[in-house]
Amino acid sequence: MTDTVLRDANAPSGNKNLGDLPEWDLSDLYAGEDAPELQRDLDWLQTACAEFAADYEGKLDTLDAAGLLDCLHRDEAISRTAGRIMSFAGLRYYQLTTDGGRAKFLSDCQEKVTNYTTPLVFFSLELNRLDEGALKAMYAENADLARYAPVIRRIRAMKPHQLSDELEKFLHDLGVVGDAWERLFDETIAGLTFTVDGEEMGIEGTLNLLTEQDRDQREAAARELARVFGENIRTFSRVHNTAAKEKEVIDRWRNMPTPQTGRHLSNDVEAEVVEALRDAVVAAYPKLSHRYYELKRKWLGLDRMQVWDRNAPLPMEETRIVGWDDARATVMNAYAAFDPRMADLAQPFFEKGWIDAGVKQGKAPGAFAHPTVTDVHPYVMLNYLGKPRDVMTLAHELGHGVHQVLAAEQGELLSSTPLTLAETASVFGEMLTFRRMLDGAKDKAERKVLLAGKVEDMINTVVRQIAFYDFECKLHDARREGELTPDDINALWMSVQATSLGPAFDFMDGYETFWAYIPHFVHSPFYVYAYAFGDGLVNALYAVYEENPEGFQEKYFEMLKAGGSKHHKDLLAPFGLDASDPAFWDKGLGIISDMIDELEAMED
């Protein structure tokens, strides 16, 4: 999955008065579990993997340019078929994670695909042993092969961390065990029930109450979340301990210098660039989150902010529910105003069953856009409750979808964008939607509400995610020293909360367990900094667009079409931007600070 918004799981209901919410039609992948095409593809995959190994294992260094190109094409076809199978099984599971049949089907597919593809482990290992000079000579000889140079470069970046062929196969087979711990986390989260004011609901609906106007209701929801998390904290602690230990063992065998190194390599980003981002954000806490929450404390008329006030609506904000049709029109108009091609690319998502929007019992948490494979199309999942923030989530996930459709032209191996760049189109889509809404504000009060909402979203995307990143860094470092008790993990969580949120806050008993529900820590360690990276990058990009709109759209579309075929330096160069320059991050953070300046000026 490409993206998950940090509001997790499901409520029993909540689709009333929102209009006709779309559901997925997964038949573009397969008609069902027993579809003959699915069995055909599984059989083909088993044979194709065995034949690939027979044809190439031990022989990669004997191939000429044409032979290596053919080898890559065959690998791409295998990836496409395996991806189609796993996309179908995964998406069906996410629609109803509490269904035993769907969980079994996903697990069975994972095991089959893992078993079939184990013979392919040699491929990346042998690719890493090829002589660099010989590779460059083949690129010079064959332009079609040279197109794959970026993906080969990324594979070869793992060369210093490569184990023996036998150990690599062992780790490949062992992957299904890690997957089972992730599923335990998902099923535990999806199965939690909370009772607030006599109404039983899932976690999505309960977290949604933290954005209600009624403060007593927000407090009740926060305390109920803390109670349920506390009752399940041993399970969450066990999952985190096991996942972190598994990672530590693999990292140690691979001689990874830090727990974060593997994520940086997969993101194709240098550690110093991430640290420059992290340091810039932490240094900016006082002028961003601390300053904004002090303003919000005054608006709310409070002596002290409590954690259930963090995402509270402003007193002057009307409680309004945005119907699905209005949300669609808002986002589509913003996309079309930027470039009609963007709206054209987004249109089929609404009309062809590519979005699953409703909140349903047992449905997976949050929101994401999953690219599936390059010869099908992406699918977007939402838990749409009609809040203005849900409109921004729609804009965000559609941005991913548009990006994935455009990048699909690169083919299976080159379409996948590193996480740091994968957030570009999504956050840009949000910014387009926000700017259009801001331009349409009727008066100063509405402008203030919109600006404050955007600042809060950016703080959640930048400040909060870097605090999450720091928490993960501390968690993985501590786990290397031994087993962590729930209290140990709680203490690590609290060590980053006050620093990032600022002096306006008090923290209730029980808030120390709120690390438990965030899926990224389990599914994708250190994923979270990609959100801050994407937000900072888009702020800088949008500043370029405002300063010099002429020709921007063409350059923007070319960037999205590139998928994973270019490094971030090459992608940003046409815009005159460079993420390795520390001043780059200050430029992005300055946009948030400027918005807070405007909000402060409104107080005068």
- pLDDT for 580 equals 83
CATH architecture classification, 31-162? Up-down Bundle (1.20)
Residue 53 has pLDDT above 80, yes or no: yes
pLDDT in tens, 294-349: 999 999 999 999 999 999 988 877 777 899 999 999 999 999 999 999 999 999 99
Q: 281 with 585: CB under 8 angstroms?
A: yes
Residues 6+ apart with CB under 8 A from 546: none
Residue 3 has pLDDT above 70, yes or no: no
pLDDT in tens, 501-512: 999 999 999 999
Residue 181 has pLDDT above 70, yes or no: yes
Residue 554 burial (10 A CB sphere; 0-12, 13-18, 19+): exposed
Distance in angstroms (rounded) separating the CA atoms of residues 386 and 13: 13
- pLDDT for 14 equals 47
Q: Pick the more confident residue, 443 or 92.
A: 92
Mean pLDDT estimate for the chain: 92
| Closest-CA residue to 234 (of 483, 474, 485) | 485
- pLDDT for 604 equals 60
Distance in angstroms (rounded) separating the CA atoms of residues 204 and 381: 14
DSSP state of 418: P
- pLDDT for 16 equals 64
pLDDT, mean of residues 487-509 = 96
Q: 308 with 216: CB under 8 angstroms?
A: no
Q: 534 with 422: CB under 8 angstroms?
A: yes
- pLDDT for 45 equals 98
DSSP state of 364: P
Residue 448 has pLDDT above 70, yes or no: yes
Q: What is the 3-state secondary structure (H, E, C) of 139-171?
A: HHHCHHHHCCHHHHHHHHCCHHHCCCHHHHHHH
pLDDT, mean of residues 270-296 = 95
pLDDT, mean of residues 372-377 = 96
What does pTM read for this prediction? Answer: 0.81
pLDDT, mean of residues 189-215 = 92
- pLDDT for 12 equals 35
Distance in angstroms (rounded) separating the CA atoms of residues 242 and 236: 10
Distance in angstroms (rounded) separating the CA atoms of residues 583 and 407: 29
pLDDT, mean of residues 487-492 = 97
pLDDT in tens, 401-440: 999 999 999 999 999 888 788 889 999 999 999 998 898 8
pLDDT band of residue 13 (cuts 50, 70, 90) is very low
Q: Which of 137-151, 169-183, 241-255 has the lowest mean pLDDT?
A: 169-183
- pLDDT for 345 equals 98
- pLDDT for 372 equals 96
Q: What are the sequence ranges of the domains in the chain?
A: 31-162
pLDDT, mean of residues 475-485 = 96
pLDDT band of residue 567 (cuts 50, 70, 90) is confident
pLDDT in tens, 54-74: 999 999 999 999 999 999 999
- pLDDT for 11 equals 34
| Closest-CA residue to 202 (of 528, 507, 517, 523) | 517
pLDDT, mean of residues 2-28 = 64
Residues 6+ apart with CB under 8 A from 125: 162, 165, 168
The tokens describing 534, both together, are 């994407």
pLDDT band of residue 163 (cuts 50, 70, 90) is confident
Q: 365 with 203: CB under 8 angstroms?
A: yes
The tokens describing 289, both together, are 């989150």
Q: Reduced to 3 states, what is the DSSP secondary structure of residue 199?
A: strand
Q: State the DSSP string of 223-253.
A: HHHHHHHHHTHHHHHHHHHHHHHHHHHHHHH
The percent of residues above 70 in pLDDT, for the chain, comes to 97
pLDDT, mean of residues 349-364 = 94
Distance in angstroms (rounded) separating the CA atoms of residues 459 and 466: 10
